[in-house]
Chains A and B, each alone.
Chain A
Amino acid sequence: MLSPHRWILAGRTRGGDELVPVPVGNRSEVFERSLEHIGLVAASMAVALIIGLPLGVVLVRRAKLQRWVIGAANVVQTIPSLALFGFLIPVPWIGGVGASTAIVALSLYALLPILRNTCTGIAEVDPAVIESARGMGMTHRQVLWQVQLPLAAPVLLAGIRVSTAICIGVTTIAAAIGAGGLGVFIFRGLAMVNNQVILAGAIPAACLAIAADSGLGYFQRSSARR
């Protein structure tokens, strides 16, 4: 008899006393689901960035509001992802079953690290640099774009990196509300009690997370060097 990991690798599962091949889904489905997964992550990250970056910039100088907004984003972060997906289904306009609901939930999860790092990144820029920038006659906008954002870039990118990793992980659960992605294999595998099917979703998802993390890590380091 084969050891458990051998029969996973062999593409077979134990049926009674003998090994029988099972339909795992073919290579092209793994590819399609991966693309779907990347699409969900990209759309959610885009929404989170479009909201999080400007909001973070606005909140830097409003300490009280900042505590409230970041507090709220923190609360969202503590809601279990499956529960958040469930909560959103009955909500009109943004809710329902499918990818758009998933993107709303995923954006909410991705928001906190972006928001927090935008605020701290800008706040941590040397006040002497900001003061001399203003004293030399730069407008607020010029100070923001030419001084604060470039100097905050490494911290900002660190936030985006954390967000992306969270997003890729949580997206696997989005399959529970019919959003597709690599989570489809995981839920299918769980239902079939078939590790091989689970791994067909989990391994590509893990690879995506590692690739995204090291790619963004590279950007982060090169922005810090400048």
Chain B
Amino acid sequence: MSSLSDGFQDGYALEFRATTYRLPSGAPLISGLNLSVARGETLVLLGRSGSGKTTTLKLINRLLEPTEGEILITGRPSVSWDPIQLRRGIGYVIQDAGLFPHWTVERNVGLVPRLERWSEKRIQARVREMLSLVGLPPEEFAERRPSELSGGQKQRVGVARALAADPPILLMDEPFGALDPITRADLQREFRALALRLQKTIVFVTHDVREALFLGTRIALLDQGRLVGVYAPAEFLKAPEPEIHAFAASLDFGGAHEGGR
């Protein structure tokens, strides 16, 4: 579809090079970020609120522009891409799903294919395929409005919409953050299977360590706009950095600290 998917096949899908983003006031939200994301991997950006996770994500699809440094997307600096074309080649899922409330599920999912002027027949087929992929029977859900969906169903539609034009890169900003724990666990399981199958390059933002450990092929920990380190899930909890201990302790609500409460 877009030149994003025809880009070269080796090398990194995404590369941050000494990237800094400052607010107009001069306060940095991201400072000197160096980070690479390999093709087909799920990189989790983990951090507390205000650590710069969402900012990092928005720098990728050019909703924000870096103040210093650059971001390479399949080897090309992000600023050299046409932002509209770039975004259509990058799926984007956010916490509240951001579905258009005045459109049916069918129209929401078909958004990017329609922007890309696919034939109506191809769009119809693709929408049905995507809805089935995320576990929503098209006959039942295609004509519904977002207001007629549960939170989990909305997120499923959000994922279907992001995948509809088959983008090589997927950005997810706490997509399961607002769901109840049981629905969240369901979606995490299904999404993990989906990610393994589709081989997309995924950047996944969360503040939930469990989610990071479960979904990530690697975990990048951000703290106050700086990268603390990048770890494989197996090494993460053993890593020496004090910021990680704080996260590890948040998992440890069971035995160890119980006596202290």
Footprint of B on A, CB under 8 Å?
126, 128-129, 131-139, 142, 146-147, 150-151, 226
Contact of B84 among A137, A147, A151 (CB under 8 A): A137
Footprint of A on B, CB under 8 Å?
61, 63, 84-89, 92, 94-102, 111-112, 115, 158, 161-162, 171
- In the assembled complex, the CB of B160 is this many whole angstroms from the nearest CB of chain A, namely 12
Q: Assess the B88–A129 pair: CB atoms within 8 A.
A: no
Name the B residues within 8 Å of A129 (CB-CB). 98-101
Query: In whole angstroms, what is the CA distance A128 to B112 when docked?
Result: 17
Query: In whole angstroms, what is the CA distance A135 to B112 when docked?
Result: 11
Query: In whole angstroms, what is the CA distance A133 to B100 when docked?
Result: 8
Name the B residues within 8 Å of A147 (CB-CB). 100
Q: Assess the A136–B112 pair: CB atoms within 8 A.
A: yes
Q: State whether A137 and B98 are in contact (beta carbons under 8 Å apart), knowing that A131-B63, A142-B115 are contacts in the complex.
A: no
Name the B residues within 8 Å of A150 (CB-CB). 102
Name the A residues within 8 Å of B158 (CB-CB). 132
Q: Assess the A137–B99 pair: CB atoms within 8 A.
A: no
Q: Assess the A128–B85 pair: CB atoms within 8 A.
A: no
Name the B residues within 8 Å of A146 (CB-CB). 100
Name the A residues within 8 Å of B95 (CB-CB). 128
Name the B residues within 8 Å of A132 (CB-CB). 92, 94, 97-99, 158
Q: Which residue of B lies closest to A140 (CB)?
A: B84
Name the A residues within 8 Å of B98 (CB-CB). 126, 128-129, 131-133, 135
- In the assembled complex, the CB of B156 is this many whole angstroms from the nearest CB of chain A, namely 15
Name the A residues within 8 Å of B101 (CB-CB). 126, 129, 151
Query: In whole angstroms, what is the CA distance A133 to B61 when docked?
Result: 12
Q: Which residue of B lies closest to A150 (CB)?
A: B102
- The 6 A-B residue pairs with the shortest CB-CB distance, nearest first, are A132-B98, A137-B88, A137-B87, A135-B92, A128-B96, A128-B98
Query: In whole angstroms, what is the CA distance A131 to B101 when docked?
Result: 14
Q: Assess the B100–A134 pair: CB atoms within 8 A.
A: no
Query: In whole angstroms, what is the CA distance A222 to B100 when docked?
Result: 18
- In the assembled complex, the CB of B248 is this many whole angstroms from the nearest CB of chain A, namely 32
Query: In whole angstroms, what is the CA distance A128 to B101 when docked?
Result: 11
Name the A residues within 8 Å of B61 (CB-CB). 135
Name the B residues within 8 Å of A131 (CB-CB). 63, 94, 98
Name the A residues within 8 Å of B94 (CB-CB). 128, 131-132, 135
Q: Assess the A138–B115 pair: CB atoms within 8 A.
A: yes
Q: State whether A226 and B102 are in contact (beta carbons under 8 Å apart), knowing that A135-B63, A136-B161 are contacts in the complex.
A: yes
- In the assembled complex, the CB of B200 is this many whole angstroms from the nearest CB of chain A, namely 16
Q: Assess the A139–B63 pair: CB atoms within 8 A.
A: no
Q: Assess the A134–B88 pair: CB atoms within 8 A.
A: no
Contact of A134 among B63, B89, B161 (CB under 8 A): B63
Query: In whole angstroms, what is the CA distance A150 to B115 when docked?
Result: 18
- In the assembled complex, the CB of B186 is this many whole angstroms from the nearest CB of chain A, namely 22
